[in-house]
Each structure stands twice: as structure tokens, then as C-alpha cells.
A and B are shown apart, each in its own frame.
Chain A
Amino acid sequence: MIEDSPPIVRIEKITKVFPENNVRAADSVSLELYPGEVRSLVGENGAGKSTIMHILSGNLAPNSGSIRLNERRVRFSSPGDAILEGIVMVHQHPPLIPDFRVWESLFLGIEPTRFGFIDRRTCIATLERICEQYGLSFDPRARVADLAASQLHLAAIAGALLRKPRVLILDEPTAPCTDPEVETIFSVIRAAARKGVAVVLITHKIREVMRISDTITVMRNGRVVTTVHAAETDGSAVSAAIMGVERPAGPKASTKNETATGSREDTGQPSAIGAHPRLSVESLSLTVNRREVLRDISFTVGAGEVFGVTGIRENGLEFLEDVLAGLIAPTRGRMCIDGVPIARYSPREFRRHGISYVPTDRIFRGASLDSSVTENLILNRRHRLGFAGVFDRDTVRGFAGSLMNRFDIVGHAHGPLRTLSGGNIQKVILSRELAHPGPIVVFSEPSWGLDVRSRDMMYAEIHRLRADGHAIVLISVDIDEVLELADRVGVMYAATMIRTLTGSDRSRKKIGELMLGLADRTTGGILR
């Protein structure tokens, strides 16, 4: 039905090789987009989805190949050129400006003026109209910094609509969103498509892909594998195409969501609740800039137990992560290891106490991109790889080599970390923390940025650590992930841990209600 009209965009044999690491991110990719269609672009990390869309939106220049817009050859040397032609991309992490008002940030680049001055009133009125039209709820006059992460995304999408796109590219738009917010984004997508906009959706969430798309393009290793109509396929077939196998490798990949509730019981492993608590968090509170961001949080984690913490971002998860990592000292309350309170809150002290930590912010906190792979790997063991503060080169080399072998890291040991692919960078970080894990391990968003294959490897590692008797704290906004891995789940809402769920209580629906603040706090469940 849609293909009846001529394509609005015709991408022809685009190739992109990154000179830093010689990776062929796009390899002779051809793609057609039609007005009014919703196209999902799926594939593992490094499959080339983002690369090809960055080329289409003028963020990257291709090595070869061409782009035709309504059959006219176009060349973009900047995002501005693409925007002028009606191709607008909303990035995975929309570059908004925290110190600006929302309207300023969104109208940047297309500011209407009157007598040389910015016409503030028109800006706000236009935005309010768009919000009303699409059912978006954010205040155009608010400061960007005061918006929640999910609202930022909605605002960024509104900003894209202001530019009257003919092609709208959304990179992981639903990543930070709750279910109702996902519905809002979907309704915006549908409304845009009805008006004849070609919408491209880059995402990892197969379930959403199946719901919203008209057509699905699968990419692997920089090539387009197949393009199919959503109506003519199913989730497991798409997953198989992504992974490059005939059928899904295991039940996890695609059917995870359906089986999630019962997965822990299925494994048949004994739950470790009631075991000797290694880590106990007691009445933890934190106030930042006069705002209480953590209120009276208590929980314990025993040896051989995974304690999951979930919730919507901006409800205290980030701050709980920072406290558990020793980066911020709590205003009130304390943390004890084997019953002994921690005296000083610093990452140094925490490392000494045997707390390993995988941060959410892998790039700025978890790695040094300009240091060599080896130098990234030895961070935690640096005092043990030589004598009297002097490194022994052979020991260092041997240590790095063994980690790279064990975790299958592809890259040059002495090259800068920056030259590795995204997946390998993740593996460097994880292998460093998992090589000699302390008795307590804090994971924050362990599967962010990982493709399905690496994610499964990651989950297996967490299972192994649990079996080896480590006490594990798992912070994740992904309910399915928490259900998959955690023995008990603490749900954060409005700076406090409103409920801890155990056993059969841990249902997707219940957690969802709790994290949205919909559930009645006083009934049922174990209150802390």
C-alpha cells in the first residue's frame, strides 16, 4: 500500500569506514523510505543502524554512495543541511542545554524574531499548540535541567516536529520511558506518519518494533540483511535475523518478556534470602541542593543474593548508585559491611572494603578512552603488578593478555581504548571489574549498550557471581532485567524505596504500578 508512492529517500550503496579503527560501519547499504511509513531499523550494537542514520541526517559524511531525496541527489555536510531538506534526527541522548528554558532549547536555530529580538511569545504559543495536538505534557517555560529524562525525550521530539520534518529519525526514543510515555511517543509517531512523514525508529526493543512498525529493516555487520513487512513476520523471526541464526538461540532473546515473571523459579536455584547479610544499608538519606533525593532507604544483601533496585530515573536511582559507589556521602544513615559501618565515603575506601562497581556512565566514569586497553584493564590491580610501586612489565602484559583472552576482547592491547568497538569497550570495563570481584558487587544498568549476545554473556556472569557467594546489588530501570536476575526487588519512587518485593510478589505489573506511584503503599508486600 505504501510502496505505491515513490520513495521520499533513496539511499544508494552508502559505505562508511571509520579511519580510527578501520571498522566498516556501513557496507554498501541501500535503503528506501516511503512517505507515511513507520520503519524500524534493528540490529545488534555495531550493526550500522546509527551510522547510516547519522549519514542521512548530515552528522557523518559517507566514504561513498549517494542519497536521493525525491529522486534529487543531495549532499549534506552538516545537520543543518539535512534539516533544511526536512530530515530531522532525534538523538539517543538529545543534546539539550540544561541552563536554557525548554522553548529556548527547542527553537534554537529557528528562532522567530520581531524587530531583531526573539519573539518569545510566539515560541511558547507554538510549543503549547504542539503539546496539545500530540498529548505531550511538558512546560515550555521550565528550565531544561528541571525536566525528567523521559520528558526531555518528549521535548526533543517536539523540537523535531517544530522543524516540519519530511523524514523523522528517532534513535532509541523509548529507552528512558515508562509504559504510558511509550504510548505517548507511539501516538506521536502514528500522527506524524498519518501526515505523510517517513518515520525511522532505531531500537533494540523487539516487542515495540512489532507493535508500531509498518516495515522492519534488519542490519548486521554494516549490511542490510532484510526488509520485511511487520504484518508478515513475528518477533522471534526478527530476533533470529538480528542474531544471524535460523531460529533464536535460546528462549531469552525474544520471549523473555513473556516468561520473565517466572524465570527465577524456573532456574530452580535456591533463593538466598535470610542468609548472613554482607552489605546493609541503614536509613540512608541524602540532600543535594536543598532537595531530598534519597529518603530513609534501608535494605540488606546477603552472600549469594542479588538485590535488585528499580524505578524510573529521577526517582533517586542515580544518587543511590553514587552513594553505593562511595562518590557521595549520605546526609544521614550509614552503610555496613559484615556489620561494621563504613567510616569514610570515597571510592578509594570502598575499593579497599571489597566493593566492585560497574557504573552506568561507562565512558566518562568507567573508562579512559585515551589510555591504552592495558592501562584500562589494570586499574584495580595496579598495586599488585610489580614491586615497590614500580610495574613489572611482564606481569602487566600477562595480566592484560589473560583478561583479553578470557573475555574475548578484540583489539590491540597497547592501542588507545578509543579505537575499540563499542561492544569491546564494554567488555574491557566489565572484565576489569569481574576479573577479581570483591565480596560485594554493584552493577548499574549492566546491559546498557550491549547487544543481545553480550547481554546474555553478562547475565551468565552475574549468575556465576551469585553462585560463587557474592552479594550483588543490581540497579536497573529495566523491569525485565531485574525480574530476570534479582532475588528481591526494591522499588524506588519519589526518593524512597517504597516496597521490597520477594518471590511471587515480583510481577511486572506490580512493579510497574509501584514505580509509577500508582499502588497503595500500605497494603500488601513487605514494607522494608
Chain B
Amino acid sequence: MSVMSKPITNSVLEGNRLALARLLTQVENHSPEGRAALAELFPHTGKAHLIGVTGAPGTGKSSLVNQLALHYRKTENKKVAIIAVDPSSPFTGGAVLGDRVRMRDLSGDDGVFIRSMASRGSVGGIAQTTAAFAQIFDAAGYEIVIIETVGAGQSEVDIARLAHTTIVVEAPGLGDDIQAIKAGILEIADVLVINKADRPGVEHTERALCSTLALAHPIPRVYRHHGQTMTVMVPAGAKNLPALEPDSSATRSDMVIWIPPINKTVATEGKGIADVAESIAKHAEHLHVTGDWASRDRARLRSELEAALEAALMSRFFANIQNEKYNDVVEQVVGRTLSPHEAVRKLLNGSSKQENV
């Protein structure tokens, strides 16, 4: 592509949608122009609220994203970008990206930009360049960037590293109580949403999630039991926090630790969406008050730096090593005369196996 990076970044900053769309493609394809433009846009980033939406396939993530975006447009007049990730075929590399089907309410609005992305071999629930997409939208002035992951099962948790606020969407009738105490996706939730809350079994899902939260966040609580006041103390080793009275005006967001609120929605009908938006706003406030916003930002940029460093070191290493030497070491590993760890030492030091043992 002959487009110079200078004009394209200018156009993106001025709000040109075609330039924005083309830049996203260049970055997704790892073109040098895309990389140069990303570097130029970087000083303009750091303003947007990145909201991740994840959950099992069919829980209604796209419908919820559609409604949340509508909410931000109508009640807060904020510009909203949506990055919707769907899986690539592991065999052909092709993909069918169908999240737009649920987002037709958003078309015709210049304050919304929806971009579908194929995961292109990444297994963490988002694509390799999803973070870069979020940066571009941030620089282009989108105040809210919603990132919808692929239908995530249990361990696709990369979104938590990228987003400021992670929403985990559940629906009634998926799995039993034991699913709720496993490690993984529930642990990354800042806000829990039980969608399809008009379906039977919603109480059961809510109870399972509540008890999971109680296990994860042991705080002393005061209960009224048969007319008596009982204080349930924190298990040994947990942080010492003031007890939360059932009738006290202290809300969960007043506390130092964040306990994910559980919101019930019927996304296709727009029910409960304002509550979710309120939970998101409270979480953002909590992040600012506690300084977690800055530390999440720092952790994310640091891991981005490290990933870039790793890639650069790898390509430098391969530029400086002769093919025969490398293949020779691979053969030794395949022949079981050298372990992979010994091979690394040999390649990096240029010294022989005997010297290192």
C-alpha cells in the first residue's frame, strides 16, 4: 500500500472513518505502515474506558454489547467503538464473523464504529492485534471501547489484561454449581451479568454466582438470623475489614476491595441495561479512587512492551544465526542427544554441551 503513515494518522485523528478502517486493516496485517502509524498515534492514547465483554457462546454477549452501546449513545452521548472477535478456523484460517447481526440498532449513527475481527490463531479469547485496535480507537476519540471476546469457555482470560472493566456474561441453565467454583473466567469478572433473566433457573444461577463470590471475597458480614444478630467472621488469613451491616448505607463500591456486582438483564428487550452501565461506572470510579486504573494501565503497557521485546529478540536472534547451525541443534534435540534447555544454552552462548553441564 502506498499510503504514507503521516496523512493516514492525521485523517484518523480528524475523524475520517475510511482512514480509520484502513489503518485497522494495516495493523491487523502487521504491515510496516500500520506499525509506524500506531507509533505516531500512541501519544494520543490513554483516554478511553476499555470494557471487555466475555462469556460462553450463546449467552448473549453481542446483544448486550448492542444495548450497552445504545445506552452510552442515548444517555451519555459518548462515542462508542466496538471490537467484536470471533474465532478463525484452525484448518483453513477463514472465519465467519457474525456479531454484527445483533447490532443492527447501531447502524446509521456516526458516533458508533463496529469492527469485526477474526482471532487468527490466538487462543486467549482475543486476537493478537486487538489491543492495538483498542489503542487506535482510543486515539481516534472513542471514549468507550467495548471489546467482545470469542465465545469463551473457561480459560480465555486475556481480556482481563486488556480491559479496564471486564464483564462476564452468564445465562441460566449452563452447568452446575461446581462450574462456578472452578478457576478461570469467573475470577476475571469485575461485573457479572446474568442475561436471559426471563428464563427459568435464573434464581439458581444467581445463587451459584453469589456463593462463589462469597468464597472469593471473605468479608465479615452481619446477618439477622431468627431475630438475632450474628456476625460471621473472616477466615484466618483474610484481610481485616470492617463489617458490612445489612442496613448500612455503605455500598460495595465504598469498600477498598471491589466485589463484582451481579446484574440481571434481558438484552434482547433492553431490560437491566442501565444497571449494568451503572455497575461499569462504579467500577471505573473504584479504579480511579484506589489507583488501580493507573496500575492496570501500567501492567498492560508493560506486558505489551515485553511481548514486543520478545518478538524483537527472536527476530534478532534468527538474523544472527546460520541456518545450518540452528538446524544442527534441532536435529540433536530430535535425536534426544540434547534437551531443549541445553540447546537454548548452547545457542545463546555458542558453547558446547560439555562446557555447560
Verify that A and B bind, or say they do not: no
